[in-house]
Amino acid sequence: MAIPQTLTYALERYLVRGTRYHLLAVAAAIGLIAVSGGVILWLFDGGGLGESIWWAFLRLTDPGYLGDDEGLLRRTVSTAVTVLGYVLFMGSLVAILTQWLNATMRRLESGITPIHRRNHLLLLGWTPRTASVVKDLLSSQGRLRRFLALRRLRRLHLVILAPSVDLALVEGLRAALGRLWRPNQITLRSGEPLRSDHLERVDFARASTIVLMADERSDLGVRDADIQTIKTLLSIGKHPLLARPGVAKPHLVVEVVNPRRADLAEEAYDGQLSVLCCDEVVSRLMAQNIRHPGLSSVYTEILSHGYRTELFTREQPGLVGLRFEELLGRFPRAVVLGWLRLVDGRDVPMLNPPPDSVVAPGDRLVLLAHDWASCRPEASGAASEGAIARGVPNMAGSTGSTARRILILGWSHVVPFLLQEIASYTTRPERIVTVSLTSAAERAQSTPAALVERTEHIEADYADPGDWRRIPAETADAIVLVGTGRVTSDEEADARTAVAFLQLRRRLQGATREAALLVELMQEDNASLLTGCEHEVLISPQLFAHMLAQVALRPDLHPVFEELFTAGGAEITYRPPQHYGVELGAPVSFRAIAEAVLARGHVALGVAWADRDAELNPPRDAPVRLNAGDQLVVLVTYDDVAGR
């Protein structure tokens, strides 16, 4: 028994070497059969040995000789050799070549051949947000042209390093991009960012920008996803190709799950680095939407490429020495939010500065406009209209509004950051209720100390109608329906959210208190499923993908986003027109409104209409008639942030 096992093991070790050895084994078997058949014929039928072996080989490889033989022995040997020839010579050869061809096709499709490119944009890893980031990068025509002009490129080339590239992945990306799909503009390679040889496969050292997204669905889990990110940063920063003196390191845009590890990420890479935290960004957007209901559409417009308005930064040497209030008339098609100033080698955003602040040399203006061309200033500013009375009390030091009772349905790794953001305001809610199947003890550990006495954790399934008796939905001022972290796919998360929305809609029918409802979804297509009651939708992966793509193309926007979407400092909010002396029902130009708002220390961004979406950066001279329910979208600076 040991001898057959030994022979089988030896044959197995031989065949695993590859296709060439498979062919050699078949050739050896064919030769053995030809020699055996020839020897049998030579022993019993006479003739020469060489001629007999050649006779057997011809029957083995060509069945046409079978009918030429005479005599029982010759016909028997010829039939046996011919049948074995069909099995070995034809069958085995076809099987080996088919296997080799399939393996070759799989290897070519998997994308393991190294590329040789320069100034490409590299995406490391594959997450559910990758397709959205690619779509944003390709659709940002204006930013893309400036990005390419700075690098003297004719067109952008994207390289994606995914764990495993196959036809399904390519087809999924093609479907997500639609008309933006350009096979000659996108290259997919297989590999892991943790391995240096795989990084070399995508020519990372010569990339202009590298985007590294956290893989929250990896085997390490959410908490340890940053370990892979920091290790990848070390691999890139310390790689011999970049360690040589005089070699320019690429700009890295990195996502971390835990914002406390942002400092570690910055230490791991000594090149230009922009660190973003998805959960922190989403929690800030949620907190500000609780604080100022209705802002989700404004966020979407500001962060989206080519939607209507975008943020731009532009240096204007001709405006150096002008006061901030003088810039209002110089940009008839853009809103000036402030500027970026270089301080100790870092860009410091100065948004909504005092009206008498002066533009310094090197400052880059931050503008809200429809396109890059709209950011050009006029030679002389328009005259002030002064159409609105200036006798309204100054609101510059005012505080934002906060819901008194907040109900949070669902629990994910975003919620602890949301609670921390709420706790950072001195104007805090009276009561917060969280509802989830996650244990109350685990949620209590993630609750900030400032909110412990104000927060109640209920263990219940909000998708179960029987558990709604314990959920205080009718008494809440603000309700946040969070995409749960207890499921493994975005589709399942949105399915649970849709069921909870139906339960909540039925529960709130006939309620005397009208609560502001914010719903977090993972996929934009599912937003149409939520109907029947007033609500706002936050597509968190999509919004973060928009921000990631914008920072990749324009790194100077990163500090602007940090300032806008953080507690304290400059924030976007809604204000009634009466706060600035704007009379309801009377026609007035937006230029006059902007002047009145600026006189109170704020920046007018647009109008939030009661019966339609908010309009940012409206025409300056067109008459605007504001009615009851309409509000102004303004940039203000708050003073009510604890510990900041």
Query: What string of DSSP letters covers 86-130?
Result: IIIIIIIHHHHHHHHHHHHHHHHHHT-SPP--SS-EEEES--TTH
Reference 287, options 3, 553, 1, 564; nearest CA is 564
Q: Which helix (H) or strand (E) holds 227?
A: helix 225-237
Q: What pLDDT score does 643 carry?
A: 39
Q: What pLDDT score does 396 carry?
A: 42
Spatial separation of the C-alpha atoms in residues 258 and 216, rounded to whole Å: 11
SS3 at position 297: helix
CATH for 121-271 (3.30.70.260, 3.40.50.720, 3.60.20.10, 3.90.280.10): 3.40.50.720
Residue 402 and residue 429 in contact, taking contact as beta carbons nearer than 8 Å? yes
Spatial separation of the C-alpha atoms in residues 340 and 476, rounded to whole Å: 40
Indicate if 310-369 has the same CATH topology as 121-271.
no
Query: What string of DSSP letters covers 554-591?
Result: -GGGHHHHHHHTSSSEEEEEEE-GGGGTPPTTSEEEHH
Q: Classify domain 310-369 by CATH architecture.
A: 2-Layer Sandwich (3.30)
Is CATH 3.40.50.720 what the domain over 405-540 is classified as, yes or no?
yes
Q: At what angle do helices 19-45 and 93-110 cross, to 10 degrees?
A: 170
Q: Where are the beta strands (DSSP E) in 446-524?
A: 455-459, 478-481, 516-521
Q: What pLDDT score does 416 carry?
A: 92
Residue percentage of the chain with pLDDT more than 70:
89
Query: Which CATH topology does 568-644 take?
Result: Alpha-Beta Plaits (3.30.70)
Tell me the longest C-alpha to C-alpha distance in the chain: 126
Angle at 383 between CA 378 and CA 387, to 5 degrees: 135
Q: What pLDDT score does 402 carry?
A: 60
Reference 293, options 535, 533, 520; nearest CA is 535
Spatial separation of the C-alpha atoms in residues 140 and 17, rounded to whole Å: 49
Q: What pLDDT score does 628 carry?
A: 86
Q: Which helix (H) or strand (E) holds 367?
A: strand 364-369
Q: What pLDDT score does 395 carry?
A: 45
Using alpha carbons only, how large is the chain's radius of gyration in Å?
34
Q: Where are the domains of the chain?
A: 13-110, 121-271, 310-369, 405-540, 568-644
pTM across the whole model: 0.78
275: left (phi over 0), alpha (psi -120 to 50) or beta: beta
Query: Which CATH topology does 13-110 take?
Result: Helix Hairpins (1.10.287)
Structure tokens given for 237: 């920063």
The pairing of beta strand 273-277 with beta strand 251-256: parallel
Task: Identify the segments of the chain with pLDDT beneath 50.
Answer: 218-220, 383, 389-399, 640-644
